[in-house]
Structure 1
Amino acid sequence: MKYTQGTLDKLGDILGESGYVVRYERGTFQSGWCLLEARKIVVLNKFLSVEGRINTLMEIIPQLEIEFDKLTHESQKLYEEVIKKAATEA
């Protein structure tokens, strides 16, 4: 997977299509992110690099309840890739 703004945008699309809002904020996030599950908001540390943001999203997407049927075909393929990578790392 390439560490580009385009990849970051596509990962954000997966969350957006599932009803999550991705926000970039300042804060003392220990791992670079904070999840407010009750409101479906993912908050990433805005000081992370693009690579850091991508790695963080790839880490948390498998933990979220993503509605696969609501995803576009392109997002479904990327989501499956993220899940597959998470399964091989576990």
Structure 2
Amino acid sequence: MIRYTQNTLDKLETIAEQCGYILRYERGNFQSGYCILDNKKVIVINKFLQIEGRINTLLEIIPQLEIDTNLLDENSKKFYTEIFENEKGPLPKEDSTGKN
């Protein structure tokens, strides 16, 4: 079960950042609460969301990203595995090239 705390938000932000994504909180006309600029690896999240909304948004975004678990430190890798195996089902298996 996920706790909606600043610590959880920090851990989710760290996963994205360690994989090379820039995470920004901005205001704008977001229908879904976020925008992903794939070519630039930038994620823009509605800055008016509270912690629970930010966490839920990142939980929705992260599975859509190209996450290379080899880039994550041990704490981030453990958290990533726990969250996405428990909440979203099993993680996709990596192929021999190390990509999902």
RMSD: 1.1
Superposed CA offset, 1:23-70 (max 9, x none): 000011111000000000010000001000000000110110011001
- Structure 2 residue ranges without an equivalent (≥5): 91-100
Aligned residues between the structures = 88
Tell me the CA shift for residue 83 of structure 1. Answer: 2.1
TM-score (norm 1): 0.92
- Structure 1 segments, 4+ long, off by >6 Å, are none
Residue of structure 2 equivalent to 1:49: 50
Number of the residue aligned with 2:20: 19
Gaps of 5+ in 1: none
Greater relative CO, 1 or 2 (CA 8 Å, sep 6+): 1
Task: Report sequence identity in percent.
Answer: 55
Shift of 1:80: 1.2
Query: More deviation in 73-82 or 7-16?
Result: 73-82
| Counterpart residue identity of residue 23, structure 2 | V
Give 1:86's match in structure 2, choosing from 70, 82, 88. 88
Measured in 2, the distance between the counterparts of 1:45 and 1:81 equals 26
Q: Report which of the two structures shows the higher radius of gyration computed on alpha carbons.
A: 2
**Equivalences for 1:64-83 in 2 at 5 Å?**
64-83=65-84
